[in-house]
Structure 1
Amino acid sequence: MPEVKAYWQNYIDGAWTDGGAGRIVVDDPATGENLAEQGLADAGDVNRAVVAARACHETGVLTAMRPVERGRMVQAMGDYLLANIDIIAEVLCREAGKPLWEARLEVEGAARYFEYYGNQAETFEGRSIPLGEGYYDFTSYEPYGVSAQVIPWNYPLEMAARSLAPALATGNACVVKTPELAPLSSAYIAKAAEHAGLPRGAVNILCGLGREAGASLVGHRDVSQIVFIGSVTTGISIASAAARNVVPCVLELGGKSAAIVWPDADLDALVSSVRWGIFFNAGQVCSAMSRLIVHDDVHDEVVERVADMARSISVGPGLDRPDFGANMGAMISAAQRDRAEAMCREAKRQGARPVVGGRKLNQPGYFLEPTIFDGVTPDMNIARDEIFGPVLSVLKFGEDEEAVRIANGTDYGLVGGVFTADVTRAMKTAARLRAGQVFVNEWFAGGVETPFGGYGKSGYGREKGREALWNYVQTKNIAISLQS
């Protein structure tokens, strides 16, 4: 088993530094044992990071570059991650409980964001507006300044890259608060920034508790824009802090996403999508396929086939099972695992039928079995509340109207899915689903290029794609009178 260094620091103003709040222990979710210690930032550390980012912005060093030069630096960050993927993936595997192959996919995904937005840097252009003879009018787009980014533990490397890459490409300086449950791999983001030659203060990476470091960051008067990925409750607090300082924020919050399955669906493709949709990353995905709404005519066959697939997945430490797609790792913590198991017990109490799983494993580490519940009705807690674990709820429908009503029957609206060979039905249903993104015949279709974000309590704003660039700039109009 690879060694992970015992102590990790924060990165502020181009230097590695301890945390003013001491240290925090990071566990290995696959064993439950202590893995390493991370320096813990306090409010003073946050202030130093924001001041450094503000100074970087105000010197104009980022905006003075030609966009292509800035874009090449962003791309170089991704190149660094790929060049060091073996080391980074092992650290990520150990701190987050992922199988090693999943960790490698995350590193590759993070690198892809830097590649994509590095390429976008020189394509982001203003426009001229005709005002008639005697006037010349045009718009330009300027970075907000300091972007504060609060990153979740389920994809600590990839989610940091998702917001950091477009922010840097548009000329912002950034302060990233990493998740205290999985902060270690984020150090390689700072190393990537150094490798790329970004100026001091452009990238600051620190770990701290939400109640101190997180609150200090999102409430700081010199922060110009905020990105948050996490729970609805915390998202409301962050939106309130942003409103007090009158700064924009992007929120990606919870999900309870549903896939609707008609009798003409390709069931082989469906089973593959269920595998990725709910059991990838042990179900700890905001856009997980947590509900499967199946037509009466194919319900029994679908349940049987997805149950067989779930039983075929091995569960255990990620470094021990390198085979692509064959295994599922641990949940991030004992508390998260126990919460998911408690929701499974409540589902049984309310009348849902456990087809597979529903229990934690009797072994070290924070493991929950791949779980499928049938006989779920829309009023049950398991059909309404986000579990954030490897638990699938199967519901029945008879008519199209009923399927859409069930799918839209939660407070969330992050993604949705449609499985049918009928293109007309797919298009009509996609238009009616209250979700920011709809997958047709393949869960997680799309990519870095496609915009992503939620309706309802799943948040607001869009990440990914060119739409994300607008999060980090404000429009300036310049109107010139040419009359003498």
Structure 2
Amino acid sequence: MSDFLKNGLARNYLAGRWVDGDNGASMPVEDPGLGEHLADAALAGDQSLAQALDSARATFERGDLADMNPHARSRLMMRVAAEIREIAKEGGDLLCRESGKSLEAAEDEFEEAAQYFEYYGGMADKIEGKSIPLGPDYADYTVYEPYGVSAQIVPWNFPVSIAARSLAPALAAGNSVVVKSPELDPIGIAMLGLALERADVPAGAVSILNGVGSDIGAKLVSSPKVDQIVFTGSVPTGQAILRAAAGPVIPSLMELGGKSAAIAFDDANLDTLMSSLQSGIFYNAGQVCSAMSRVLVHRSIYDQAVEQAAALADGLSVGHGLENPGLTPVISALQLSRVEEVTSTATQHGSRIAAGGSALDRNGYFMAATILADVDPGSRVAQEEIFGPVVCFTPFDTEDEAIAMANGTEFGLVAGVFTRDLARAHRTARKLRAGQVFVNEWFAGGISTPFGGVGKSGFGREKGLEALFNYVRTKNIAISLK
């Protein structure tokens, strides 16, 4: 760890080396569970970015990964997975402290990161083209080629897992990658550099830089040295990146926000619904793009569902992530202020606060687990992504009404259906405007299931076999034999 941490400073991983910030620049990192300074992180600038891009390009042009025997590339990915597991305990502790999430969730992120490398490592030698019949006078076939240099901007809510989610398929396909880590919690993701280094990933194939989004983030996505952009984050930032990418015409993969709804029909199992509610909106303090942020409940069971949800929210233990409580803090004072501000507008539009509703009076950045009942589906709180432990309950009478409300936002990331009627579940799932639909279990699925949205939730897919083909482009080769 000595190269990674130097004099209390978390350093950047630049083309196989651990480096300080440009001109010694650094930035503080807080512990949101205490509201106190935790550590400092090196701050990359123009010089580091230029070196990272040049090294990535040189590595790609040499074919260090792209021309590697696919079986060897697969074994390399498996070594990375093993090394990630070696740092999971120490990395989980740091990630817990800097992000505020529970220690269990932080360690799970490193395990999930390892699984991404295993999953795509198993595909590295299976990226196969196809032969196209054009008659006896031609031989025609396709090959898949890596893009080149992939620029990847990672959000703060699941930095280690999301970094691996994009990094693993990109490397499996033979790309080089420059990762821009989140400013609020850059330490855990930087530790992935340790695993890459120890697994002998070619120097230059990956750089992980912490820098200001409006500075090196903006310069990264507009650089003509970049061949692909992968972004996970907010809609406004995604729109800004797409505008920047339009000039050099850089292909982009966008995973943006959500305001996802679960529909609970009259035959829904309320215990199942409450279990999904606990993980769907209170896990990681609701700071999840695919959070279960709206619950539409048939009027016949609506009052009972709201009552049980309020009891669930009021009964959650609250504490620092190291305690593995039911509710952890949000990432920062600014985020807490935003969550509280948006929530406070709900009652002005007829909503009723069934539980929570405000910040908690304690050290750190804690928002009470909040249940808003009788929420107008057109109100701000039902339309905007809050990114906090706040869920909106709204009653419905008919199936068509529920589907219309669920589809009634600009987002379309995920959705959910709770019913014992299998035919209704299939029928409703087909009509929901979302990239993924959960039936009777929020967050059902895993690494092998494609993930991504429609509308302002973005485009392209991460996870699963489908994601791998976001990191290659098809070349057709037609040969006349005449």
Structure 2 residue runs of 5 or longer lacking an equivalent are none
- Give distance in 1, aligned partners of 2:105 and 2:313: 17
Amino acid at match of 1:101: E
Asked if the contact 1:419/1:426 (under 8 Å) is kept, the reply is yes
Offset, 1:438: 0.5
1:426-465 correspondence runs (5 A)? 426-465=425-464
How far did 1:481 drift? 2.2
SS at the partner of 1:328?
coil
Q: Contact between 2:282 and 2:326, CA under 8 Å: does it hold in 1?
A: no
Q: Secondary structure at the match of 1:245?
A: coil
Which residue is 1:392 aligned to? 391
Structure 1 residue corresponding to 2:13, chosen from 11, 14, 30: 11
What displacement does 1:28 show?
0.4
Q: 1:211 aligns with which of 201, 214, 229?
A: 214
Q: Deviations over 1:320-350 (max 9, x none)?
A: x24xxx5221100000011101111111222
Aligned to 2:156: 153
1:105 CA displacement = 1.7
Distance (Å, rounded) in 1 between the aligned partners of 2:316 and 2:473: 47
Instruction: Report which stretch shifted further, 254-263 or 77-86.
Output: 77-86
Distance (whole Å) between structure 2 residues aligned to residue 311 and residue 363 of structure 1 = 16
1:127 maps onto 2:126 in alignment = no
Counterpart of 1:255?
A: 258
Distance (Å, rounded) in 1 between the aligned partners of 2:75 and 2:166: 17
Q: Which amino acid aligns with 1:18?
A: D
Indicate the residue corresponding to 1:241 in structure 2: 244
Note the C-alpha offset of 1:43. Answer: 2.1
- Contact 2:11/2:20, CA 8 A, preserved across alignment: yes
The list of structure 1 runs, each at least 4 consecutive aligned residues, that deviate by more than 2 angstroms after superposition, is: none
CA distance in 1, matches of 2:47, 2:252: 23
Pairing 1:363–2:362 present: yes
**Contact 2:8–2:39 at 8 Å: present in 1 too?**
yes
Q: Which amino acid aligns with 2:188?
A: S
Counterpart of 1:116 in 2: which secondary structure? helix
* Residue 91 (1) aligns with residue 94 (2): yes
Is the contact made by 1:71 and 1:118 (CA closer than 8 Å) also made in structure 2? yes
Q: Determine which of 302, 305, 308 is the counterpart of 2:305.
A: 302
In 1, Cα distance between equivalents of 2:122 and 2:327: 34
CA distance in 1: counterparts of 2:278 and 2:84, whole angstroms:
27
Contact 1:6/1:35 (8 A) holds in 2: no
Identity of aligned residues (%): 52
CA distance in 1 between counterparts of 2:71 and 2:266 reads 50
Indicate which of 18, 28, 33 corresponds to 2:31.
28
Structure 1: give runs of 5+ residues left out of the alignment: none
CA contact (8 A) 1:25 1:38 kept: yes
- State the alpha-carbon separation in 2 of the partners of residues 358 and 202 from structure 1: 47
Distance (Å, rounded) in 2 between the aligned partners of 1:396 and 1:71: 50
Of 19-28 and 164-173, deviating more is: 19-28
Partner in structure 2 of residue 143 of structure 1: 146
**Residues 232-279 of structure 1 deviation map (CA, whole Å, 9 limit, x = unaligned):** 111011111112111110111110000000111121111100001000
For 1:288-325, what per-residue CA distance to the aligned partner results, in whole angstroms no more than 9, with x for missing partners? 00000000011011111122211221111111x24xxx
Provide the rounded CA distance (Å) in 1 between the counterparts of 2:136 and 2:343: 70
AA of the residue aligned to 2:109: E
- Does the CA contact (< 8 Å) of 1:316 and 1:329 recur in 2? yes
Distance 1:397 1:97 in 2: 36
CA drift at 1:44: 2.2
Amino acid in structure 2 at the alignment position of 1:220: S
Residue 120 of structure 1, CA deviation: 1.2
Instruction: Report the CA distance between 1:98 and its aligned residue.
Output: 0.7
User: 1:236 & 1:342 partners in 2: Cα distance?
Assistant: 24
Letter in 2 for 1:334: A
Range 157-166 or range 190-199, more displaced: 190-199
Give the CA RMSD over aligned residues: 1.1
- 1:343 counterpart residue number: 342
- TM-superposed deviation, 1:468: 0.8
Contact 1:281–1:329 (CA<8 Å) still a contact in 2?
A: yes
For 2:373, the equivalent position in structure 1 comes to 374
Please tell me the residue identity of whatever aligns with 1:275. Answer: Q
Q: Per-residue deviation at 1:48?
A: 1.0
Partner secondary structure for residue 121 of structure 1: coil
User: For this pair of structures, how many residues does the alignment match?
Assistant: 476
8 Å CA contact 2:283, 2:326 repeated in 1? no
Cα distance between partner residues in 2 of 1:337 and 1:378: 23
